[in-house]
Amino acid sequence: MNPDPKENRAWFTKKLFRGWRLAVVPHVPATILCIFILVALFAPQLSPYSPTEAHFLDKLMPPAWVEGGSSEYILGTDFMGRDVLSRLIHGSRVSMTVGMLVIVVAGSLGTVIGVISGYFGGWIDILLMRFTDITLSIPAILMAIILVALFGASYFNIILVIVLLLWPRYARQIRGDVLNVKEQEFVALADVAGCSHIRIMWQHILPNVLPTILVLATLQVGWVIILESSLSFLGVGIPPPQPAWGVMVAEARGLVSSAWWIALFPGLAILFNVLSLNILGDWLRDRLDPKLRSI
């Protein structure tokens, strides 16, 4: 560990990009992820129809390659005649938005609390960690359910709920990392040199816990997407008619025997999305810090 923050950043980048050309980067997941992000960004331009546009006459049409399908609706239509592909594309927006927002907010909150807790120690640490322990000890879905039961289901509430559930996981992990970094001598040196606490935390500690933050972020987005889609599926998440993937699958439930495509494609979308994130996250973790052995 180098005391110079600039050197730290150089070390970090070098670690991340070393051997980039040697095909050790999992190209396939990275590409898939980029596709999803691009689709989410350019959803209105890419989707052939609006996600809520209902063509009642063309409802329940199978995908184009199945008998009875048409090339007008490549992935078929649902029970209201809405184009599945368009809903799928717009659904990626929902997932991405929720995923990104939750991670950014929960990650920031968790990092701040983790750094403060680890750095200052003492009763602050004990208090904050007890709090996170308790929050962690309650199963996420139960808390989500009861919060939704009380406050109702909406875009905002879902994000809030998942943030509340996620930040303790960050705080815990980051705090552990901070404790390790704190032991390093250069922190003591900075302290002796008269740096303020904020400066130490920002310049010295934060860059060294950055790898952990990054790995956690990547691995957790997948978890968030699955949680959000599960809640939406159950009816306590993003409320219809928003084209969230979980909602799409829920709507297809009764029709699974006759209209399998409405349930299949959103699930595949979630699967590929989360799979890419997990593989990428694993690769990142192996690269940056093999000692981070969380699930």
Partner 1 sequence: MQRYIADRILQAILCILVMSALVFFLVRLTGDPVEYLISDQATQADYDRIYKAYGFDRPFYVQYVLFLKNMVTGDLGDSLYLHRPVASILRTRFPATLQLAVAAILISLVVGLPLGVYAAVGRGTGLDVSARFLAVLGQSMPPFWLGLMLILVFSVWFRLLPSGGKGGIANLILPAITLSSWLLAGITRLTRSSMLDVLGTEYVKLARIKGASEPKVIWKHAFKNALLPVVTFSAVMSVILVAGAVITETVFAWPGLGQLVIQSVIRRDFPVTQAVVLLMAVLYIIANLLVDIAYAFLNPKIRYSR
- Asked if 229 interacts with partner 1 (CB under 8 A), we say yes
Exactly one of 236, 244, 247, 284 binds partner 1 (CB under 8 A); that residue is 236
- Asked if 35 interacts with partner 1 (CB under 8 A), we say no
- Asked if 226 interacts with partner 1 (CB under 8 A), we say yes
The distance between the two most distant Cα atoms of the chain, rounded to a whole number of Å, is: 77
Task: Give the Cβ contact number of residue 230 at 10 Å.
Answer: 17
- Asked if 137 interacts with partner 1 (CB under 8 A), we say yes
SS3 content of the chain, % helix, strand, coil (to 5): 75, 0, 25
User: x-or-dash pattern for partner 1, window 241-270, by CB under 8 A?
Assistant: -----x--x--xx--xx--x--xx-xx--x
Beta bridge partners of 77: 83
- Asked if 126 interacts with partner 1 (CB under 8 A), we say no
- Asked if 234 interacts with partner 1 (CB under 8 A), we say yes
- Asked if 24 interacts with partner 1 (CB under 8 A), we say no
Q: Can you tell me whether residue 275 is helix, strand or coil?
A: helix
- DSSP character string of 45-84: HH-SS-TT---GGGTTPPPTTSTT--TTSTT-B-TT--BH
- Cα–Cα distance between 214 and 39 in angstroms, integer? 23
User: x-or-dash pattern for partner 1, window 266-285, by CB under 8 A?
Assistant: xx--xx--xx-xxx--x---
- Asked if 288 interacts with partner 1 (CB under 8 A), we say no
- Cα–Cα distance between 30 and 68 in angstroms, integer? 36
- Residue entry with tokens 């950043």: 9
- For residue 65, the minimal CB distance to partner 1 (Å) is 18
Residues that bind partner 1 (CB under 8 A): 134, 137-142, 145-151, 222, 226, 229-230, 233-236, 246, 249, 252-253, 256-257, 260, 263-264, 266-267, 270-271, 274-275, 277-279, 282, 293, 295
